[in-house]
Amino acid sequence: MTEQDMLRIAVAQFNAVMGDIDGNAARIRDILMEATRQEADLVVFPELALCGSPPGRLLAHEAFLCACARALEDLAKATDQGPACLLGAPVRNGAGIANAAVLLAGGEIAGISRKAVLGPQESGVFSAGPLPGPLTLRDLRIGVALGADLATGDVCECLSETGADLLIALDCAPYRHGHGDARLSAAVARVVESGLPLLYVNGVGGQDEAVFDGASFALNADRRLAMQLPAFQERVRLTKWQRFETGWQCIEAPTADLPSAQQADYAALMLGLRDFVEKNRLAGVVLELADDTPTALLAALAVDALGADRVHGLSFPVAGGAEICTDATRFALGLGIRHDVLPLAGAVDALERTLGPLFEITVPGAAEDQLHARMRGAFVVAVAEKFGALALTALTRTDLLVGTPRCGADLRAGFAPLRDVALSATARLAAERNAWRPSDGKGPQGPIIPERLAQASPELMEADTRLAQIEAGTPDAASEPLGWMERRLMEAEGLRRRAAPGTRLSPVSAAARYPVTNRFPHES
């Protein structure tokens, strides 16, 4: 066996900061320096690691593209005496812009492979490249697939037919509940079709509503899982590959356990919140503490993501003072967070005096309730803005679908981590957190959410199931007469369009579906 028959590949499961091209490049350079000390031959980064994913309309700015080009030239120089580097970046593609994998080696840009299959969000932003051939590093021919290139057999088949020795897939794929097996299945299919081993390198981190889960892996040509990196955590790990008569194999690599479905959802929500705060350079978070499951779960998530010293809870009794907020106070004490009780009586009295002449001949009802809720939301936002923090809302997917009072109250909040979590699922996640803490969670061990809040009633679970059927437009739901839930889902459309952004977990978001102005079904 010669040195040419051995290859050390460092896998960089990288958390890029959107638009921070200089900062991302500096971190890439540091990883290359460490890989040099580990005697790596090649370091592989995810799709669009240089600029962040998805860049969207940032690509329309010439300065953005020029900064990426300069960074690539500078990073290429760092490979003069060290390992080669394969990373994702936008590059000019004739009159358009390509989502590309760039090979840096020997102090120069040694090759570029352009993404051939564009996802729905990339059409009109990137231009597709041709079916690619391999990139050459020493006497190794690397077949590179980017993101959606892995979804069909065309790209990998072309790479195999043009002499690739090894497939490397660069991706920045968002987490979707229960869809991890689909990603692995696509990779297995490409290995079977091509007869080549495959190294899959995925990005990690939160970007607005998306959370990229990492969980990079390697498959040998016999479909055996040879490497597995953890989900939702940055990692740089060295893998060793050897060339045999039958081809290349990964002979040494780390293997980590992946979380369960509930744990993965919690970890995704935690990472999404952490990166939204950190990447927007916010001091911490402010939220209302109320005696309900979504609020308790949100507070636990915030502490796990940021630490207790960066979480501020507020309670707003309409009558009385701190003595009637004992549950919230006890919960805040268990989490170790700051908790302030701000009585609303004075503010409510002032509003009633102001609106009294208009409301005096009416019966108190939903308008007054919504006004009090909006007042509490405004106070949370005011405190957050005053101290450079992020205002959180415990808005859930259920709230968004049917337009609950919480939906109307929290329209000014900055972030809604639970907006894609059904109300019944918040109880399941609370129960999961009581039995388990993420390895990078900053909150206390053990049960931290009151047991009574960690149980979903059968009625609530049934209601959420019914809502999911209606939202999906299943035949049995569509054929029935329009009921209470269907009406509420239609009527809440305007609120959904104005709600705060939040982490997305499901393939289908609770997004705009109905016209806001809508008389169906007409009632006489």
How do residues 247-301 score in pLDDT, each as one tens digit? 999 999 999 999 999 999 999 999 999 999 999 999 999 999 988 899 999 999 9
Assign 3-class secondary structure to 479-497: HCCCCHHHHHHHHCHHHHH
Q: Say whether pLDDT at 325 is over 70.
A: yes
Lowest model confidence (mean pLDDT) among 58-62, 88-92, 148-152, 490-494:
490-494
* pLDDT at position 17: 96
Give the C-alpha separation, 376 to 369, whole Å. 11
What mean pLDDT value characterizes the chain? 88
Cα 162 to Cα 275: distance, rounded to the nearest angstrom: 41
pLDDT of 375 strictly over 90 = no
pLDDT(524) > 50: no
**Average pLDDT, integer, range 488-516:** 73
Taking residues 110-114, what's their average pLDDT?
96
* pLDDT at position 364 over 90: no
Please report the pLDDT score of residue 410 as a whole number.
59
Could you tell me which residue, 45 or 488, shows the higher pLDDT? 45
66 three-state secondary structure? helix
Q: How far apart are the first and last CA of the chain?
A: 85
Q: Which residue is listed with tokens 């907006």?
A: 419
% of the chain surpassing 90 pLDDT:
67
CB neighbourhood size of 440 (10 A): 15
How sure is the predictor about 70, in pLDDT bands with cuts at 50, 70 and 90?
Answer: very high
Summarize the confidence of residues 106-124 as an average pLDDT.
Answer: 92
DSSP 363: -
Q: Which residue has the higher pLDDT, 409 or 305?
A: 305
Name 142's bridge partners: 135, 166
* Domains in the chain, CATH or no CATH each: 3-258 (3.60.110.10), 262-399+412-456 (3.40.50.620)
pLDDT of 409 above 70: no
More confident residue, 371 or 242: 242
> Per-residue pLDDT tens for 194-231?
999 999 999 999 999 999 999 999 999 999 999 999 99
pLDDT over 70 for what percent of the chain? 87
Rounded mean pLDDT of 163-191? 93
pLDDT digits (tens, 9 = 90+) for 474-485: 545 445 555 666
Q: What is the pLDDT of residue 484?
A: 65
The yes-or-no verdict on residue 1 having pLDDT over 70 is no
Angle at 154 between CA 149 and CA 160, to 5 degrees: 100
Taking residues 416-421, what's their average pLDDT? Answer: 94
345-350 long-range contacts, CB within 8 A, separation 24+: 345/317, 345/318, 345/319, 347/375, 348/318, 348/372, 348/375
Angle at 386 between CA 403 and CA 320, to 5 degrees: 65
Token pair for 333: 């004490």
User: Rounded CA gap, 173 and 484, in Å?
Assistant: 37
